[in-house]
Amino acid sequence: MNLITKAWLVSQGLLVLTAVIIQATFYREIKVGPMLGMQKRDYWDIIKNVEPQIPKFAIENNLPPKRYDARLELSQSEIERANLGAYRKAYRQEEGIRMAFKGGILVNLIYFTLYHLLVRYFKKQLRRNN
């Protein structure tokens, strides 16, 4: 394996490790799901944006979504009245973890492209100067 490949593997590995640490930290901070009474959802359900199941008590009591679904656009008073503060925060955290995941992939693709373009450029410059 040549030096260029080793350098790329080490640097790409560090980027991936950083992305994994960020994802693990964000996921650990989530305490509940985005709907009243929900437990924390599985990591891959969050990443895939799987639609959460409506809680049984909401269906049984025929509650309107504004009373249990923190994903809806609600005013601060509606959030407080329905006791959805923690669930609204969890929804925002889930959105953040999805965005960070997509951002990590994008950064790695940009890095991959730029690294190889720069290696090609510097090789040409070294050949030209020799």
Q: Look at residue 4 in the predicted model and tell me its pLDDT.
A: 82
Res 93 pLDDT > 80: yes
Residue 53 CA to residue 100 CA, distance in Å, equals 24
Neighbours of 94 (CB within 10 A): 23
Q: Look at residue 129 in the predicted model and tell me its pLDDT.
A: 84
Q: Confidence class of residue 126 from pLDDT cuts 50, 70 and 90?
A: confident
Indicate the average pLDDT of the chain: 92
pLDDT digits (tens, 9 = 90+) for 96-110: 999 999 999 999 999
3-class DSSP assignment, residue 93: helix
Q: Look at residue 62 in the predicted model and tell me its pLDDT.
A: 92
pLDDT digits (tens, 9 = 90+) for 36-82: 999 999 999 999 999 999 999 999 999 999 999 999 999 999 999 98
* Residue 105, token pair as written in the block: 């992939």
Phi, psi of 54 (to 5 degrees): -70, 130
Residue 10 CA to residue 100 CA, distance in Å, equals 22
Q: Give this prediction's pTM.
A: 0.83
